[in-house]
Amino acid sequence: MSWVLLAALVVPFVTAAVTLFTGHRSDVAAKGISVGGSALGLVLAWVVALAHLGDAPPLAHVFTSTRTVGPPIELAVYVGPLGAAMLILATTVAFLVQVYSLGYLADDPRYPSYAALVSIFTGAMSVVVSADDLWLLLVGWELMGACSYFLIAHHWELEDARAGAVKAFLITRTADLGLLFAIFVLGDRFGTYRLSTILRVITEVAVPRDGLWLPALLLAVAVIGKSAQVPFHTWLPDAMPGPTPISALIHAATMVAAGVFLVARTYPLFLSSPSTLTFLALVAAVTMFLAAVYAMVTHDLKRVLAWSTVSQLAYMFGGLAAGAWSAAVLHLLAHGAFKALLFLAAGSVVHAIGGATSMDVMGGLRDKVPDTFVTMTIGFAALAGVVPLVGFFSKDAIIHAAWEEARHGRLVWPWVAWLLVVSMVATAALTVAYSLRAWLLVFFGDGPEVVHDSPATMRVPLVVLAVPTALGGLAVTVPGIIGGAPGEHLVHWSTSVLMTLLVVVTATLVLVLYRRRGRAMWGPVVVPHPPIDWVWDRFLVRPVRWLAVLVRAGDRDVIDAYADGAAASARGIGGLLRRTQTGSVQGYLMVVVVGATAIAVAAGLLA
C-alpha cells in the first residue's frame, strides 16, 4: 500500500512535468494529460485513503533514510484517519478544479503552465497530509506557497495580480520560518524528525505543562501565516486576482487548510502547551469576528468568500484551542466541500455575466443560471449553518465545545475562552447575515443580461460538490471515521436549537432590511481597516528599501574609491582607507553593521 501512496504522491509532479513540456504543442494534449493525471492521482489517493479511515491501522512507512549528523532526514509517510480524509478532500477538489478549468480557461493560452501548477499544488498538499518526516512536510508546505505565488500571478499583465502574488509569498514565507525553527527544536529535543515518534513520546511520557511551549508557539506562527489569521490575514483577500478555480483550490482544500491540518496533526504537542492554545484561541477570536465584519461590508463577491474563509478557519482554530479536535477537523472537511462549491459557483456567475466580480452589477440571476443558483444556495446555506446541511453540525459542535471549555475548561485561560464563545456566537450571526446578503444581491432583484450559461464542465463539479455539502452532516454520527474518540457526541440539542434560533432571527432581520431598504441593506457602512498593511509598510518594507539604496550607494562608494586609487596604484589602499574614514554613507553603515555583529558576539561571551 505504501507504494500506491508513493505513486499517488509522484503522479501529480510527473503530470505537471509532462504538461509543461508537451502542453504548448497541442491544446487537447495539455487538457487530456492534466485531467487524466489528476484522475489517476485521485484514484490512487482514494485507494490508499479508504483503507485507512476509521479504525484501520495507520499506514507508516520509511522509504529511505539519509544518514546525517543528528537525526536522519527520512522519506517517511504516515497516513492515519485524518491524513486519509485530507487526502480524499485534496485530491477530489483538485480533480474537480481541473475539470472545471477546462471550461473556465477554455481559450487561455497560458493553460499548460496553469494546469501544471495546479498539479504541483495538489501533489504538494498530498505530501503535507501524508508526510511523517517534518522536513518532507516542510517541502510540501513551502512548495504550496510557491505554486500559489505563480497562480495568483496568472494574469501577470495586471498590477493587482503581481502585487498580490508577491505579498502572499512573502508573508507566508516569513511565517514559515516558524515551522523551520520548530523543526530544529523538535529534532534536537526528540532525536528524530519523525512526527509519529515525536507525538508518541509526548503522549506517553508526561511532558511538563508548557514544557514544549517553544516549538508549539513556533508552529502556531507558521500556521497563522499559512491560514491567513490576524495579523498575517491581509494576503488572502489580496490573492483574489487569481483565476477563481485557484481560489477554490487555495481556500478549500490546500494552502490555507494545511494550517488547520498541521495543528490537528500535531495536536498532542499543542495540548501539552495550554499557553500556546490560549494564544491560538485569542488569535482565532479576533480573526473570526474581524473577517466576518469585512465580509458584511465588501461589495465584491470573491472578497466576501475570501473573508468568510478567514473567518471559518478561525472557527477551526477556536475549536482546536477549546479541545474539540473532532469537531474542528469535521468543520475543516465540511468547509472544504462547501467553500469549493461556493468559489466554483461564484466563478460560474462571474463567467456568465462576462467577468465582473462586484455584486453591485449582479442580481436576478436565479432564472438565468439555474444550476448555479441551486448549488450555490446549498453552499451559502451550509456556510450560514442552516439545518441539516454540513456546516450546521460541525459549527454547532465547535461552539458547544468552546462553551464547555469556558465553563470548566483547563486548557485556555478563562477570559480568553469566554471571549472565544462570545466571538463565535456573534460571528455565527454575522455569517448568516453576509451569506444571505450575498445570496440576495447575486440572485434576486434586477440584474445584467447573461452572456452565456456555463458549460457542462463547469456545472458538473458544482453538482458533485453539492452532494457532500447537503448530506455530509451525517458524518457527525460517526466521528470515529476521522479518528475522533469513539463514543464522542458531536450533536448537542441545546446548542443546536439555540443556534437555529439565531439563524432564523438573523435571517429575518436581514430579510426585513432587504424589504425596507432594498439592496443597500446596512450600507453604506465603512469599516476602518486596522492599519496592519500600513505598519508592515512603514516599519518593514520602507526601511528595507531605504537600507538597500544605502548599501548600494555605500558599496559603489568603496569601489569607486578603490578605482580612483588604482589609477595611482601606490595610493590605492590609502584612498580606500581614506574614503571609508571620511564619514561617508559607507562609513556609517559599516559602523552600524559591525556594531550589530559585535553585540551578538559580546552576548555570547557574557552568556
Partner 1 sequence: MSAWLLNGLVAVPFAFAVLTRLLARREAAAVGLAVLGGLVTLGWSVAAVLVPGPDVDVPWIAQLGVRWHLGLDGISGPLVLMSTLVVALCLVSLVRHDPGCGGRAGLAALLLLIEAGVLGSFLALDMVLFFAFFEVALIPMWFVINGWGDPHDEAGRRRAATRFLVFTVLGSALMLVGFMIVRSQAGTFDIVQIAASYRPSGAAGVTAALLVGLGLAVKTPLWPLHIWLPDAHSKAPTVASVVLAAVLLKLGTYGFVRFWMPVTDPGWRLLAPFVAGLAVVGIVYAALACLAQTDLKRLIAYSSVGHMGFVVLAVSTFTVGGVQAAVYASVAHGLITGLLFFLAGAIKDRYGTGDLARLSVLYGKVPRLAGLFAFGAMASLGLPGLAGFWGEMLAIRAAVYPSSGLPAPTYTVLAVIAAFGVILTSAYFLALMRGMLQGAPAAVRPVNEEVPSIELATREVAPGTVEAGALRRDVDVMEWLTWAPLVALTVLLGVAPGLLLGPVSEAAKAYFGGLP
Cβ proximity to partner 1: between 157 and 204 the closer is 157
Q: How many residues bind partner 1 (CB under 8 A)?
A: 84
What is the distance between the alpha carbons of residues 555 and 519, in angstroms, rounded to a whole number? 59
Dihedral sign, Cα of residue 94, residue 99, residue 102, residue 103: negative
Q: Is 294 within 8 Å of 119 (Cβ atoms)? A: no
Q: Shortest distance, CB of residue 34 to partner 1, whole angstroms?
A: 17
Cell representation of residue 114:
496553469
Q: Is 436 within 8 Å of 511 (Cβ atoms)? A: yes
Q: Shortest distance, CB of residue 46 to partner 1, whole angstroms?
A: 25
Site string for partner 1, 125-154 (x = CB under 8 A): ----------x--xx-xxx--x--xx--x-
Q: Which helix (H) or strand (E) holds 76?
A: strand 73-79
537 binds partner 1 (CB under 8 A): no
Dihedral sign, Cα of residue 588, residue 594, residue 597, residue 603: negative
Q: Name the 3-class secondary structure at 131.
A: strand
Nearest to 321 by CA among 226, 205, 405: 405
CA distances from 138 to 145, 206, 503 (A): 11, 27, 40
Cβ proximity to partner 1: between 397 and 576 the closer is 576
Q: Shortest distance, CB of residue 114 to partner 1, whole angstroms?
A: 11
Other CB atoms within a 10 A radius of the CB of residue 152 amount to 29
Residues of span 74-113 touching partner 1 by CB under 8 A: 107-110, 113
Cβ proximity to partner 1: between 34 and 495 the closer is 34
Stretch that binds partner 1, among 223-231, 454-462, 486-494, 552-560 (CB under 8 A): 552-560
Residues of span 438-457 touching partner 1 by CB under 8 A: none
Classify 521 in phi/psi space as left (phi over 0), alpha (psi -120 to 50) or beta: left
Q: Shortest distance, CB of residue 47 to partner 1, whole angstroms?
A: 24
Site string for partner 1, 276-305 (x = CB under 8 A): -----------------------xx-xx--
Q: Shortest distance, CB of residue 62 to partner 1, whole angstroms?
A: 12
Residues of span 303-342 touching partner 1 by CB under 8 A: 303
Q: Shortest distance, CB of residue 171 to partner 1, whole angstroms?
A: 10
Nearest to 339 by CA among 231, 266, 256: 256
Residues of span 564-603 touching partner 1 by CB under 8 A: 566, 590, 593-594, 596-598, 600-601, 603
Q: Which helix (H) or strand (E) holds 416?
A: helix 414-443
Q: Shortest distance, CB of residue 353 to partner 1, whole angstroms?
A: 8
Other CB atoms within a 10 A radius of the CB of residue 435 amount to 28
Q: Shortest distance, CB of residue 423 to partner 1, whole angstroms?
A: 28
Nearest to 531 by CA among 231, 305, 177: 231
Q: Shortest distance, CB of residue 440 to partner 1, whole angstroms?
A: 18
Stretch that binds partner 1, among 46-54, 311-319, 521-529, 560-568 (CB under 8 A): 560-568
177 binds partner 1 (CB under 8 A): yes
Residues of span 18-77 touching partner 1 by CB under 8 A: 64-70, 73
509 binds partner 1 (CB under 8 A): no
Nearest to 128 by CA among 241, 9, 17: 9
Query: Binding residue for partner 1 (CB under 8 A) from 209, 538, 545, 578?
Result: 545
Angle at 284 between CA 278 and CA 289, to 5 degrees: 135
Residues of span 356-375 touching partner 1 by CB under 8 A: 356-358, 360-361
